[in-house]
């Protein structure tokens, strides 16, 4: 085939998340320590990818638009090699185009979403649909650690540096209403500057504490207890402050308590946070409105309010410009910009 010829494009998509419910160091089935996390799923923004193969061109002739998505480009190259091996076709170059509206630097999995969408688009261009474990392995090779966005919305404890599930906690989280906000004024967090602890150096008492939180979260999912989930998320968020040190965290936890929330959660590698409410709580609308007013009074920008749990996740729109500009889609030829998150 002529080097200039192209095949039909493949497409792929991946969601984002709203930070973590639990993150720490856990024991796998063999008793080995692993860094692990449980993310909070969120419907709405995500990454979409389109990949066009160019048979006859060298595999290194792979371009990505926007050009700054280097992790997605790495993922695409790795997936080309994997798909070529599976189909018996020679690897070739191509063009990857990414679009999406995930804010960068808030800990919502923007890079993982790009990477997984890219893997799925390349596989689709070869007529393949890769299983989640293969997608996870490719994602970890591309970005060293990956969020479990390839696994759907069921709650899992995921070893992000190894790309494997440590435990499936159950079919769905307890039903929650999440009032999202951004700490630090919504300024992006440089995740590469955050210290990465060696799991071998984590104190044994800390590992026991993480395992206790894991057991409590397992019980929360099994019993549908939003209150127990909130307690786990808050405890994990407090531990996260040892690294992140958000000055507003204590204020956020206090206003959540006053609003009748079950707890708070944060992104352990970003600025996004959430106030968690039990969907079955009496006077829920009043509680949520009170929380939004309190966030505004303390200068903490509210972003979006959404539900999660046994019913399909959906966004609850704010009245007024609460999250105007938060999910502005990035154009295919424009580098993704940090989100602007004005207060209510």
Distance CA 264, CA 26 (A): 21
- Centre a 10 Å sphere on the Cβ of residue 299 and count the other Cβ atoms it contains: 10
* The token pair that represents 74 in the structure block: 């790495």
Phi/psi of residue 314, each to 5°?
A: -150, 155
Q: Do 109 and 149 form a contact (C-beta atoms < 8 A)?
A: yes
Residue 308 maps to a domain: yes
Q: Of residues 273 and 325, which shows the higher confidence score?
A: 273
Q: Write the CB contacts of 84 (distance below 8 Å, at least 6 apart in sequence).
A: 59, 90, 91, 92, 126
What letters, b where the CB count within 10 A reaches 16 and e where it falls short, cover 251-285? Answer: bbbebbeebbbbbbbbbbbbbbbbbbbbeebeeee
Total domains present in the chain: 1
The pairs formed by 84-87 with CB atoms below 8 angstroms and a separation of 24 or more are 84/59, 84/126, 86/126, 86/128, 87/126, 87/127, 87/128
Question: What pLDDT digit, counting tens, does each position of 95-123 carry?
Answer: 999 999 888 888 999 999 999 999 999 99
Residue 329 maps to a domain: no
Residue 322 has pLDDT above 50, yes or no: no
The domain in which residue 52 lies consists of: 10-316
Distance CA 317, CA 68 (A): 32
Residue 323 maps to a domain: no
Q: Do 338 and 326 form a contact (C-beta atoms < 8 A)?
A: no
Question: What pLDDT digit, counting tens, does each position of 195-215 carry?
Answer: 667 898 999 999 999 999 999
- For residue 148, what pLDDT band results from cuts at 50, 70 and 90? very high
Residue 321 maps to a domain: no
* The token pair that represents 265 in the structure block: 């959660």
As to burial, measured by CB atoms within 10 angstroms (0-12 exposed, 13-18 middle, 19+ buried), residue 106 is buried
Distance CA 52, CA 339 (A): 29
- For residue 43, what pLDDT band results from cuts at 50, 70 and 90? confident
- Residue 328: strand, helix, or coil: coil
* The token pair that represents 330 in the structure block: 């990035």
Residue 178 bridge partners (DSSP): 276, 306
Q: Looking up tokens 């410009």, which residue turns up?
A: 321
Q: Looking up tokens 């602007």, which residue turns up?
A: 340
DSSP 8-class letter at 274: E
DSSP 8-class letter at 4: T
Looking from the CA of 60 toward its CB, the CA atoms found within 13 Å total 0
Residue 312 maps to a domain: yes
Residue 275 maps to a domain: yes
Distance CA 85, CA 91 (A): 8
Q: What mean pLDDT do residues 295-302 have?
A: 96
Residue 327 maps to a domain: no
Q: Looking up tokens 């709405």, which residue turns up?
A: 44
Average pLDDT score over the chain? 88
Question: What pLDDT digit, counting tens, does each position of 68-96 carry?
Answer: 999 999 999 999 999 999 999 999 999 99
- Centre a 10 Å sphere on the Cβ of residue 176 and count the other Cβ atoms it contains: 25
Distance CA 234, CA 84 (A): 46
Q: What mean pLDDT do residues 286-300 have?
A: 97
What is the C-alpha radius of gyration for the chain, rounded to an integer number of angstroms? 20
Range in 5-14, 265-274, 284-293, 297-306 with the lowest mean pLDDT:
5-14
Distance CA 135, CA 342 (A): 36
Q: Is the pTM of this model over 0.85?
A: yes
Distance CA 79, CA 61 (A): 14
Residue 271 maps to a domain: yes
Q: In the chain, what is the straight-line distance between the N-terminal and C-terminal CA atoms, in Å?
A: 57
* The token pair that represents 215 in the structure block: 């057991």
Question: Domain of 56: which CATH number?
Answer: 3.30.230.10
Residue 159 has pLDDT above 80, yes or no: yes
């Amino acid at each position: 085939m002529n080097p200039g010829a192209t095949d039909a494009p493949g497409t792929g998509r991946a969601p984002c998340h709203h930070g973590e419910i639990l993150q720490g160091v856990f024991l796998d089935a063999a008793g080995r320590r692993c860094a692990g996390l449980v993310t909070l799923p969120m419907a709405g923004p995500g990454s979409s990818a389109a990949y066009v193969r160019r048979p006859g061109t060298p595999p290194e002739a792979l371009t990505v638009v926007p050009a700054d998505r280097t992790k997605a480009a790495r993922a695409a190259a790795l997936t080309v090699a994997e798909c070529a091996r599976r189909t018996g076709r020679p690897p070739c170059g191509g063009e990857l185009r990414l679009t999406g509206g995930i804010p960068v630097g808030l800990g919502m999995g923007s890079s993982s979403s790009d990477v997984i969408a890219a893997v799925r688009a390349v596989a689709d261009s070869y007529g393949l649909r890769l299983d989640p474990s293969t997608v996870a392995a490719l994602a970890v090779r591309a970005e060293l650690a990956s969020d479990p966005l390839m696994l759907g919305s069921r709650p899992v404890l995921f070893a992000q540096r190894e790309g494997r599930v440590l435990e499936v906690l159950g079919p769905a989280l307890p039903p929650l209403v999440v009032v999202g906000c951004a700490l630090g004024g919504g300024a992006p967090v440089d995740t590469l500057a955050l210290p990465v602890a060696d799991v071998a150096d984590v104190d044994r008492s800390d590992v026991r504490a993480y395992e206790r939180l894991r057991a409590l979260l397992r019980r929360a999912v099994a019993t549908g207890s939003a209150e127990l989930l909130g307690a786990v998320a808050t405890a994990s968020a407090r531990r996260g402050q040892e690294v992140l040190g958000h000055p507003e965290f204590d204020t956020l936890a206090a206003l959540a308590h006053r609003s009748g929330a079950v707890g708070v959660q944060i992104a352990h590698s970003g600025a996004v946070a959430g106030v968690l409410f039990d969907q079955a709580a009496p006077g829920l609308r009043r509680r949520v409105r009170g929380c939004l007013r309190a966030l505004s009074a303390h200068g903490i920008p509210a972003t979006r309010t959404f539900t999660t749990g046994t019913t399909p996740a959906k966004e609850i729109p704010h009245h007024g410009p609460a999250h105007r500009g938060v999910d502005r889609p990035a154009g295919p030829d424009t580098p993704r910009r940090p989100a602007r998150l004005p207060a209510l």
